Amino acid sequence: MEFVQLNNYAISIEKQFASDIIKESFPLRYGKYSVIKTSEYEFLFNLNGEIKFIRGLNIKNWPHPAEQLKRTDGNDWVYYSVGDDSSEKGIIAWLGEYYLPCLPYPSNSVWEFSYFSNPGAMNALAAWSQLYANLYGARRDGLSSKLSSFIDLVLNNDESVLYEKSMKLSSIIGGRVSVLPPDTRHVDYEIIPLMIADGCLYHCKFCCVKSAQQFQARSKTDILEQIQQLKIFYGRNLENYNALFLGNHDALEAGDELIYLAASESIEAFGFGNSHSKTPKLFLFGSVDSLLKSGNELFEKLNHLPFYTYINIGLESVDAPTLAYIHKPLDTSKIRDAFQKMLDINSTYANIEITANFLLGEQLSPDHYQSLAELLRNAPVPSHSKGAVYLSPLKDSPKKRELLPKFLEIKKQSRLPAYIYLIQRL
């Protein structure tokens, strides 16, 4: 990496890291970012000059050299932890990733880590404020115009501007994304959100991310308007995105026409597929009913788009009393039909992957776990074929870490890949 020196800072502008997100233990780096290094920290800025990552280098209290803070487009600082078990039974087995995102808001994580009480992480955020102040006061004599423009770009994105931008994003799409599909882990949760519907079909009692709205699809005009505004919003940094999330909680219910319109219009507008080396990803949620009523025509169309598409369906349980307990208004035969349809689609369409969510919780009955283990053990698919199942700890489960042995037991029996679902907002 080529660095220029400014006072005590080594600066590299628009460094190209791996073009695709690669799952590896160290370091998690992808896309095109500018880097400022001090003797203690490494700061990464996206192509709009917005702070994105902070990593401790040679400082006391930094928990692990591979860990870092990441700022999301919703302006949350998320701490990426490697956890306390780096064996194959550790985080990689639970999440399918080498990092556990530790969130600054309540969620359903099995691993409690509050970076607010971690001096290393808090010092890193203070170091970012100090860096900003130092850049503000830095003498510019003799600096190249490229370096000077980069400093201006960073200075144009102070904390209040970053907050305003996150509000602007929510206002473009009509509200904050309260949950991302678990499959977005494959792109480190870096997606462009585009809402094609609001609300959901069931309003289940256990759900902590639902809105009060009845299901309502957006109009074509609204979707096209969002695309135009999102293109302006992301600006130069669009180059760092290669994935689209069609929201909200049941985009599949919006139907063929809107899904196809939103996906196909986004390809050109957001520059997806400009690179020959990486396949853009499309993510959406679906429900049991929307999956069961979706016809082959939609899947044929999706399969021929440049995207690899993930559709995540909330199945929750194949045990009738459990469905009643969580107030999911479905019977087990529908859940089983949806599970079978998921397997059929996954084996038919090379570019579509349906995944499913089930629940984990101390308060759930042995019958829930038994019926789930049986379903996954007897799934008529080649072992560990595509179509992951995600087990989502109930948010109000006490002692979530104690759920891990239960999860690992189900994972061991499952013919499908199985992971924990960490509920994460944008």
Which residue type, as a one-letter code, is found at position 183? D
Closest CA to 125 of 53, 179, 175: 53
DSSP annotation of 51: E
34 touches ligand SF4 by CB under 6 A: no
- Interface with ligand SF4 (CB under 6 A), residue total 11
**Cβ-proximal residues to 31 (8 Å cutoff; 6+ apart), any chain:** 16, 17, 19, 46, 239, 240
Which range, of 37-45, 132-140, 196-204, 227-235, touches ligand SF4 by CB under 6 A? 196-204
Which residue number, 123 or 184, has a Cβ lying nearer to ligand SF4? Answer: 184
400 touches ligand SF4 by CB under 6 A: no
CB atoms within 10 A of CB 163: 11
CA distance 108 to 3: 41
249 touches ligand SF4 by CB under 6 A: yes
CB atoms within 10 A of CB 155: 14
Which range, of 32-40, 205-213, 317-325, 348-356, touches ligand SF4 by CB under 6 A? 205-213
Least gap, CB of 280 to ligand SF4 (angstroms): 25
Which range, of 202-210, 221-229, 336-344, 370-378, touches ligand SF4 by CB under 6 A? 202-210
Region for 369 from its dihedrals, namely left if φ exceeds 0, alpha if ψ lies in -120 to 50, beta otherwise: alpha
Residue among 59, 143, 204, 408 that touches ligand SF4 (CB under 6 A): 204
3-state secondary structure of 390: strand
- H or E element in which residue 375 lies: helix 366-377
Residues 304-323 that bind ligand SF4 (CB under 6 A): 314
291 touches ligand SF4 by CB under 6 A: no
203 touches ligand SF4 by CB under 6 A: yes
Q: Are 422 and 138 in contact (CB under 8 A)?
A: no
287 touches ligand SF4 by CB under 6 A: yes
200 touches ligand SF4 by CB under 6 A: yes
202 touches ligand SF4 by CB under 6 A: yes
Binding region for ligand SF4 (CB under 6 A): 200-204, 207, 209-210, 249, 287, 314
